[in-house]
Amino acid sequence: MMINDRARDYVVILGWLLAYILVAGSFQLYIPYPQDGDTAYHAAVGNLMRQHGILEAFPWTPFSWLADHYADKELLFHLLFVPLGGMDWISAARVVGTLVGATMLFALYLILRAEGVRYAGLWALLPLVASAVFTFRFVLVRPHVLSVALALVVLWSAARGRLLILAAASAIYPWAYVAWELPLLLVLASEVARLLSGEGVRWKPMAATIGGLAVGLALHPNAVNLVRLSWIVIMDVLIKGAWGLREGIELGQEFKPFSLGQWLQWMLVCTVMAAGALVIAWRHRRSGSTPLAFSFAALGFGVLTAASARFTEYFVPFSVAAMALSSRHMPWRFLVPAILTVSTVYSVALGSEQVTLLAIRRDDIIPPVQSALRQRVPPGAQVFTCEWGMTGRQMLALPDRRFMVALDPTLFYIKDPDLYRLWYRLPREAPPGSAEIIRQRFGAQYVLCVDIQDWSAFFDRLMSEQGVSMLLAQDIWILFDLGPPQPPILGR
């Protein structure tokens, strides 16, 4: 009888895993083209690793800090692309997106199931209907989804004293995400919850976390640079760049906070759940500290989300987890179906446009343009680009060429602030002699930019200068040949 019960449990678990794969895969199939420029960059890095092995430098973006101090802050994520080389990059991204999305949902399910939460499988699906913005970010094929799964495991294993699981998850973090210090904060939240619940503070969870992180860092092939890069991301990208609004650094909409109207439109349900869970967990803290630990984590991510919308991907699932764990103290048998219904109506009524947007984006570089670019820009050429968000797609379209900077413009600024300012100013101000400046200061013979009105004066300036010819003006792209390049002048 015990064997049959165990087999039935395994069937249920496998059934939910398959359901999550189906859900995550359906979202990926719904999207005709990846919504985020970073997806192309991650696919490009996977291609480079397949050709060159583990990377120790990144000469494809020579003006980036990563060129000489390379650290793969998402090594595990990039390794997922390596065996998919037989696919086109969009199909490969769908496979990876399905895998990491299902992993996050399954991790939440296993935690809630282990805690004896009724309808754990449905609770794990709730983040997808609690916030349309979370759904949008869930389907982005980026490493943050994997980080959310790890964060959930870290907090639960810390709260429950599962030290081997905690150490293993902590060891994976430096290979999975740039914010590899996050487990330390989650363990701290767990121990504060224990202290306030009268359970007493332990030292072993923090020791297991530190030990796991140390092992993960020691085994990482770019360990020293990874530590330096993590500091840059925290201080220069987030604090000085996004929150400090450093002039001349454009990081995209995800770093900006939601307005009050957007918060009400997209975040109301999860905010109510986070607040309700905190109240319930506090009242019943003497019964166990785990719900309070998840409530504290949700509160912390909520504060971060108020400062930067990109933390939505943590705030929503932690709010759901906190509510699910606190629901054990509520007698309402059909609580989760009720919340699912309310959340679905709320998201469809106020946030459906976010999901609709997923289906309308088209290829950034359509095949005819890609073919034309490859014919006109030879391998090994340095290409001057007007912005950084398209670099990943350009790397896929034009392999073995060099571009300005990938991932984040701050990494250009860190390497050479003066040269970064010059790069930022050229397409916006179009000074006389722009072509010669690009040839001498950036060593570039080619200029490849999206053909938008904001840069039309720059394009006109280039066309008016000696030795410049337009090689391509097709679809959304414009390509110039400036003539033979000069060696780049790096530094001040």
DSSP 460-479: HHHHTSTT-EEEEEETTEEE
| pLDDT value at 237 more than 70 | no
| 3-state DSSP assignment of residue 401 | coil
pLDDT at 492: 45
- pLDDT score of 144 more than 50: yes
Strand order across the beta sheet in which 383-385 lies: 383-385, 446-450, 477-481, 469-474
Domain ranges of the chain: 2-30+71-357, 367-481
pLDDT digits (tens, 9 = 90+) for 180-211: 999 999 999 999 999 999 998 999 999 999 99
* 24 three-class SS: helix
Per-residue model confidence (pLDDT) at position 3:
60
- The mean pLDDT value for 342-367 works out to 85
Q: Which of 15-24, 116-125, 356-365, 373-382 has the lowest mean pLDDT?
A: 356-365
Under 8 Å between Cβ of 422 and 458 = no
Nearest to 295 by CA among 312, 311, 309, 275: 275
Q: Tell me, what's the pLDDT at 243? A: 55
Q: What average pLDDT does this structure show over 59-88?
A: 94
Least confident of 85-89, 205-209, 330-334: 330-334
Query: What is the C-alpha to C-alpha distance for residues 317 and 315, in angstroms, rounded to an integer?
Result: 6
| Stretch 248-268: mean pLDDT | 80
Q: Report yes or no: 79 and 99 within 8 Å, Cβ to Cβ.
A: no
Residue that the structure tokens 């201080």 belong to: 235
Question: 417-429 vs 456-463: helix axis angle to the nearest 10?
Answer: 90
Residues 68, 63: Cα–Cα separation, whole Å: 9
Q: Which of 310, 286, 282, 306 is nearest to 294 (CA)?
A: 282
3-state secondary structure of 198: coil
Integer angstrom CA distances of residue 330 from 94, 176, 270, 327, 334: 39, 36, 18, 5, 10
Average pLDDT, the chain: 91
Question: Per mean pLDDT, which range of 244-248, 319-323, 332-336 is the poorest?
Answer: 244-248
